[in-house]
Chains A and B, each alone.
Chain A
Amino acid sequence: MTLYYILVFGILLLFGATVIWALWWAIRGGQFSDFQKGATSIFDEDEPIGEVTDHFTDRCEEMKREQQAIAENEDQEPPGEESSAKPRN
């Protein structure tokens, strides 16, 4: 019975502490300081924002036209449309 208490409360403390440490590490490391950078971090100059990176090989031309149409629509909207949804920190 003692074993169960040790296990349950021990694990509870251990994991609770780990979670709190993870949050503290993230906050101290500035992980939450710039959400816009976070969202765009998976893009770069080789696979930039606006470029579709996967489609059927028999729909290449159609897809390029689609991408252009989307890009043109975006141009007509006010700049920074996506970033205006959440205030930058």
Chain B
Amino acid sequence: MTPTAASPLRGVYLDGRSARAHDALVWSDDSDLVLLLAAREDQPSLPPAEEPTETRVPLREVRFEPPLGTLRRVLLLPGGARFETDDHAGVLGLERALGAPRGLHLVNAVEARPVWVALSLVAFVVAAALFVRFGLPTAAGWAAALTPPAAMTAMDTQVLRVLDRQYLQPSRLGADRRRSAEALLTRVARGVDPQGERPTFRYRLVLRDGGLLGANALALPGGTIVLTDGLVSEARDDAELAGVLAHEVGHVAARHGVRSAYQGVGLLVFASLLTGDVNSAGTLAAAIPVLLVQNGYSREMEREADRAAATYLVRAYGSTRPLRDILTRLTAGSREGDLSDLLSTHPATSERLRELAAFDPPLPARR
């Protein structure tokens, strides 16, 4: 049985039934892989007079382990047996001759060339950045659009319960003030998010004593808007309060609550993927960028809500001034710095004021 192709491969054969290794020569003929086995030199425990034995394996039962750097090439044989050799070229020739699938060869080739490795690094960074910047928010947006209204209402109930338990007290505002605020919300909601016959969101106002939270407003996914007494008192007139409410309604209409939740989960999955087989403390390396990215998402959402509020205010009151005024008053006294902006979930106030002002119609020319 003469070999068909190139010279035989020299290597080690293991039969998968015992740990004994045999020197072997391997080649292929028309139908089979032929292995010529003999004892290894460094295993003198075998009786010295062992004849070389020949084994044949049908070629279709031979599988090739994909190449991996400089590690020995391995041929997988039935019954758990294997043949290992350092003759990379020889195995490659055999694979080609047999037409064996060579998928991971490409990967191995890429790993061997520094240029391709560098390109991979760039590709990875670019792909990761694209995913985080566009892919994930878009996917989260789709998931948010598909979320049924009932689910979002359920979230309202859940979140409000947690807030009431931990931060909020019953409101101390008078009934009149409450009723007028509720009416204002109905007007504003109709203006910012005129829903049709079957509304997705049920806009309703919930007033609470905010305690430590101070003057605050919160939009829950199903349309519940929470206002603290502090904020209602801070507003000098209906226009200012309307500005705040319009901002919150903007959050609801764009489904920011659920989008944020999905983005958070998505980022977590992505970070887990990257730090997969490192021990859990190593996820710290991913945690910091995740935090920054999450805050980045929030800032973008604040801008969207500001834009919705600005559009409504200009239509209803002629200017964004009411929102700018209350914003200025609420943030007066706290410092702004570049670093804290990066970590904060909201864009810097001066930036917000500027962007809001850009929505104002130009002043009529003076005579």
A associates with B: no
